[in-house]
Amino acid sequence: MHRNDFCWCGSGLKYKRCHLDFDEHIDSIKFDPRMGQIKPPHEIIKTEKDIAGITKSGKINNAALDLIAENIREGIDTLTLNDMAHNFIIENGGIPACLNYAGYPKSICISINDVVCHGIPSKKTILKSGDIVNVDITTILDGYYADASRMFMIGSVSPEAEKLVEVTRQCMELGINAVKPWHFLGDVGAAIEKHAHTNKYSVVTALGGHGVGKKFHEEPFVNHVGEKNTGMLLVPGMVLTVEPMINMGDFDVRTDEKDGWTVYTKDGSLSAQWEKTILITETGTAVLAD
């Protein structure tokens, strides 16, 4: 690409005034193929317009999770929570991204106790004291996605379950803190894995985080285990989720054969998950959905 060509990102600016310095910085880095180090593809680098779009979607997503936080309680069924979030997102101009995604039947995911993720809301599923619950919401607004999940503890929760929820939150935050521009994606998984294992927990490896933008799941796949200085180079303009799933027992999971969606811990142990959508900036990160 020549200096005076329009930039590949679609910003409408000339290359020399947009991503020339960015590309030259990447080209100056010596990648080690033995460490699986790779360049990020141009198509996952977000423009200012993209970032603004994801941010607006994130505001609705955050407010939907706030609404759930205000209403989740012992005795409520999970379909009621689903409908609450669905209606809120629609009323604010958004689209619940989960609804009909690859056949998923509801608008949000609600995963309880040994359900790792993708729990399907139901009128028959009533929350009870002692439950730990993950509520995962993804919103589309004007074609842009935002994705986040939070944990909730219902009534009187055991100290063991409470610790799992807190350590999982810490794992997410440590993973986010490991996201630094011009470092590598493996740093994220390494930080999460170390903290989980220090606390005698396991990390689910069959599922992970992902890029976010105009698609539900974009590159890169964010593994929550790994080695430092491996994988894709992290650069300003990338948007991704950090969403570790931490099990009290073994890391193996199984998917419900009947509904094809609900993912359980294979050994029946408790699982927890927190998730944020983050933007990589020139100096660190910014949270776009939490």
Options 3.90.230.10, 3.40.50.720, 3.50.50.60, 3.40.50.970; CATH of 35-289? 3.90.230.10
Distances (CA, A) of 30 to 25, 198, 236, 256: 11, 33, 18, 45
* pLDDT band, residue 203 (cuts 50/70/90): very high
pLDDT of residue 282: 93
- What contacts 23, CB < 8 A, 6 or more positions away? none
Cβ(164)–Cβ(270) below 8 Å: yes
Tens digit of each residue's pLDDT (9 = 90 or more) over 141-190: 999 999 999 999 999 999 999 999 999 999 999 999 999 999 999 999 99
Q: What is the token pair recorded at 34? A: 């033995």
Residue partners of 123: CB distance under 8 A and separation at least 6? 77, 79, 80
- Per-residue pLDDT tens for 245-273? 999 999 999 999 999 999 999 999 999 99
| Chain centroid, CA 113 distance in Å | 19
pLDDT the model gives residue 277 = 98
- Kind and range of the H or E element at 146? strand 144-153
pLDDT band at 285, cuts 50/70/90?
A: very high
Q: Report the Cα 204 to chain-centroid distance in Å.
A: 14
Taking the model in full, what pTM does it have?
A: 0.95
CB 238 within 8 A of CB 221: no
Instruction: Round to whole Å and give the CA distance between 146 and 65.
Output: 12
Return d(Cα 276, Cα 290) in angstroms, integer: 5
